[in-house]
Structure 1
């Protein structure tokens, strides 16, 4: 994209919302800006079998990679961004039908762009993906496509987040189009693949509180169509005073939704402590808690389930190397951790691979599954069904 403002996804419609767009410009993902590139090995995939293969890349024409040892086990995923599930071929198809110009016009060239030079390049690809989704059908297709992929890895239940605020204010996509697309995708995923999908929109750290409240109101309107919670994502380091979102959280709570914010990824221990004011139902990431025994004990007492994504944590430099991941410390402290992919297309991973990594770090498939059951925002009937699937696969006492 040639125009300077277009580089940040701010299109003509967003000029009506210039102040809001400026605040949201760099808030799409909650990754820190200190991206270290001096050690080239750190730009590689965190999956141990691929550490010697160079930078992580997308799958292009090939189907998503499968993980042999863990695929037979049932799985639950509570942390995946819908926009981050879109593989290169689908991204190109979306761009062509929506008239969006991508920086590459074929699968191979686009896949090469998933081999990140640095952190800014990763953010560029994130914005490219989200900016390509323009229609109700795009959101519906993304849900269905990921349900199909997840099913191939034994997934029974998925909670996905999506980011409607920026798409509405930058691209002028109506909220009903996005929410209807996600809701229709949820229905189709169950019918076609037997995968139960639930979703939650994200507020944006550092964004205007009134936009967060608007997002919360739309989420409540779709509570009966598979919207189960409210997230908060973006740049944790620019989150500001989190109390500015108290009203949005109250709207969601009053409407029967759960609260599961991103906290403790790049924002450290303080980010976790600050969101505990909302008594969250879980935390996206939360791994910074491993540096504070008192905080870990508090999370155990609260019954808080963390939604951990090992490969993503290495890819964003929150963790320097998979061997240094804090999952073992969290497990030893009794903090329950479910396992997710975060952005599987952008990190070239699958939930099967994440379960394998977690097992190497001491989190058994049974334990990860049970944490998913306990941390899900689903209704009691779905939870009971998931519990029965887990007991049939792992027994009554997850390791």
Structure 2
């Protein structure tokens, strides 16, 4: 049993987060205020206490897209970026990677996407000056929007690849289509020098992880937790050095696992998988990075050394340049 001093030290550790959806991190009050400003009706999006309202994963996706509908201009995204990074910094996050979809930021048009991206980067730079938090972007296509829209997202990613847009991935409903349907988009992103990740193994079983590794040639997997059901695949993940972006609170809230005690993150880590910890869509799942750490500490007895290892793993798997990585690792140094 950990005492309160130990838990407080864990709560305040500097943290690296690799799996955060930009719109999904929007505080409900921010979205509600923006809707009022724009006279947008968001009936059904919020519970009476002001939280996001959803029944299951598919309903969550529809609520997510409804909430995102009020974000209509680059300035809206600048304000969103500021709100998201204030919350992350308050949870001692020193480096974060956020998933951004050109489908939401300009409808997949490269010119419009550039305007949105400029506003987001300006806000991120301001947050870095104010609080020291570093943000980088991963362009994400939406699986249930289909392969053709994914190609438009990949083109946006390729045209803006560089020091800030450093990766490409896929999110959305894992049950729609197959990873190989999106291979063209991933090839385009790879040729532009972008690093690759993919959501898999949250709902699609271990086979979705195997297919994403085989057909999309990714170096990270978002979630990936159902890989535990195929130990040969787990061994392949270890041998390939693939990192899992695990979001325990999200998995429990959505019912992927009935409780944190039943979650496989401990088993994956014990076998030698590179696991990291993230929040996914924190206000939707009533979590923060501090909450994730405290819940893991209480459930599995993880101490500061374990979390230090996890953060170093995340920093080394981050899609950033080496100078940025060195800066982040310095902030993680243990005394």
Q: Check whether TM > 0.5.
A: yes
Q: 1:325 aligns to what? A: 263
- Equivalent of 2:16, from 73, 76, 79? 76
- What SS class does the counterpart of residue 10 from structure 2 fall into? coil
Structure 1 stretches lacking a partner, 5+ long: 1-66, 394-399
Q: What is the CA-CA distance between 1:86 and the residue it aligns to? A: 1.1
Q: What is the CA-CA distance between 1:307 and the residue it aligns to? A: 0.6
1:332-389 deviations in Å (ceiling 9; x for gaps)? 1100111000011111110111122233336521122112112100100011122222
Task: Establish whether residue 366 from structure 1 lines up as the match of residue 305 from structure 2.
Answer: no
Task: Establish whether residue 272 from structure 1 lines up as the match of residue 209 from structure 2.
Answer: yes
Distance 1:177 1:243, change over 3 A: same
Contact 2:16–2:311 under 8 Å retained in 1: yes
Q: How large is the Cα RMSD of the aligned pairs? A: 2.5
Instruction: Measure the CA separation in 2 of the matches of 1:127 and 1:210.
Output: 19
- Equivalent of 2:174, from 232, 236, 240? 236
Task: Establish whether residue 179 from structure 1 lines up as the match of residue 117 from structure 2.
Answer: yes
Q: What is the CA-CA distance between 1:256 and the residue it aligns to? A: 1.2
Distance 1:298 1:170, change over 3 A: closer
Stretches of 4+ aligned residues off by more than 4 angstroms? 115-121, 166-171
Task: Establish whether residue 262 from structure 1 lines up as the match of residue 262 from structure 2.
Answer: no
Instruction: Measure the CA separation in 2 of the matches of 1:208 and 1:308.
Output: 25
Structure 2 stretches lacking a partner, 5+ long: 1-6
- What SS class does the counterpart of residue 306 from structure 1 fall into? strand
- Equivalent of 1:342, from 268, 272, 280? 280
Q: What is the CA-CA distance between 1:179 and the residue it aligns to? A: 2.2
Instruction: Measure the CA separation in 2 of the matches of 1:345 and 1:123.
Output: 14
Between the two proteins, the alignment pairs up a number of residues equal to 324
Larger relative contact order, structure 1 or 2 (CA cutoff 8 Å, min sep 6)? 1
Q: What is the CA-CA distance between 1:117 and the residue it aligns to? A: 4.6
Q: 2:3 aligns to what? A: none
Task: Establish whether residue 389 from structure 1 lines up as the match of residue 331 from structure 2.
Answer: yes
TM-score, normalised with respect to structure 1: 0.75
Task: Establish whether residue 315 from structure 1 lines up as the match of residue 253 from structure 2.
Answer: yes
1:67-107 deviations in Å (ceiling 9; x for gaps)? 945332110000111111111221122213333222179x9
Instruction: Measure the CA separation in 2 of the matches of 1:186 and 1:355.
Output: 25
- What SS class does the counterpart of residue 199 from structure 1 fall into? strand
Q: 1:290 aligns to what? A: 228
1:269-323 deviations in Å (ceiling 9; x for gaps)? 1111111123212111011111111111111111111111111001111112211
Distance 1:321 1:138, change over 3 A: same
Contact 1:338–1:368 under 8 Å retained in 2: yes
Contact 1:144–1:186 under 8 Å retained in 2: yes
Q: 2:242 aligns to what? A: 304
Instruction: Measure the CA separation in 2 of the matches of 1:108 and 1:266.
Output: 25
Distance 1:348 1:206, change over 3 A: closer
Contact 2:102–2:108 under 8 Å retained in 1: no
Q: What is the CA-CA distance between 1:108 and the residue it aligns to? A: 8.0
